[in-house]
Amino acid sequence: MTKERYVVHYTENAVKIVQTQVSSVRKKDILRTSIRLYDGKSMGVAGALGECNEEELVAKAKESLKLAIPYPYEASRELVREERHRSDLQGEEELLEATEEILQKLRRDQPHFSFSHLFKSARVESSMQNDLGLDLKSSREFISLELVIKDKKSSNIIDAMTGYEGRKFHKDSFIGLTNMICDAYMNQLPDIEEGVYPVVFRSDDMTYYKKLYESLNGMLFGSGGSLLSGKIGKKVFSDKVTLFQTRNVEDGFFEPFFDKEGTVNDSDRFALIEDGVVISPYTDKKTAATFNLTHTGSAGGEYDGLPELGMPMLKFAESHKTAKQLLDGQKAIFILIASGGDFTQDGRFATPAQLAFLFDGDRFIGRLPELSLSSHIFDMLGKDFRGVSSEDFLGIENAKLTIMDMNVKKL
Give the confidence band of 252 by pLDDT, cuts at 50, 70, 90.
very high
- CA separation for the pair 43, 71 (Å, rounded): 6
The pLDDT of residue 339 is: 94
Number of domains in the chain: 3
Give the confidence band of 276 by pLDDT, cuts at 50, 70, 90.
very high
Summarize pLDDT for 293-302 with one digit per residue, the tens: 999 999 999 9
* 150 in the same domain as 136: yes
- Is 212 within the bounds of a domain? no
What torsion do the CA atoms of 242, 358, 394, 254 make, to the nearest 10 degrees? Answer: -50
The pLDDT of residue 175 is: 98
- CA separation for the pair 48, 341 (Å, rounded): 40
* 229 in the same domain as 146: no
- Across the chain, mean pLDDT equals 97
Q: Which amino acid is at 6?
A: Y
- Is 94 within the bounds of a domain? yes
Average pLDDT over residues 290-319: 97
Domain ends where: 316, 333, 360?
316
- Is 304 within the bounds of a domain? yes
* 279 in the same domain as 292: yes
* 246 in the same domain as 334: no
* 303 in the same domain as 163: no
* 383 in the same domain as 294: no
CATH of the domain at 158: 3.30.2290.10
Q: How many CB atoms sit inside 10 A of residue 408's CB?
A: 22
Average pLDDT over residues 307-329: 97
The pLDDT of residue 390 is: 97
* 202 in the same domain as 328: yes
Range of the domain at 238: 217-316
The pLDDT of residue 13 is: 98
Average pLDDT over residues 176-183: 98
Give the confidence band of 145 by pLDDT, cuts at 50, 70, 90.
very high
Average pLDDT over residues 172-188: 97
* 312 in the same domain as 364: no
* 325 in the same domain as 299: no
The pLDDT of residue 215 is: 98
Summarize pLDDT for 351-406 with one digit per residue, the tens: 999 999 999 999 999 999 999 999 999 999 999 999 999 999 999 999 999 999 99
The pLDDT of residue 184 is: 98
pTM value? Answer: 0.96
Average pLDDT over residues 107-111: 98
The pLDDT of residue 18 is: 98
Summarize pLDDT for 47-74 with one digit per residue, the tens: 999 999 999 999 999 999 999 999 999 9
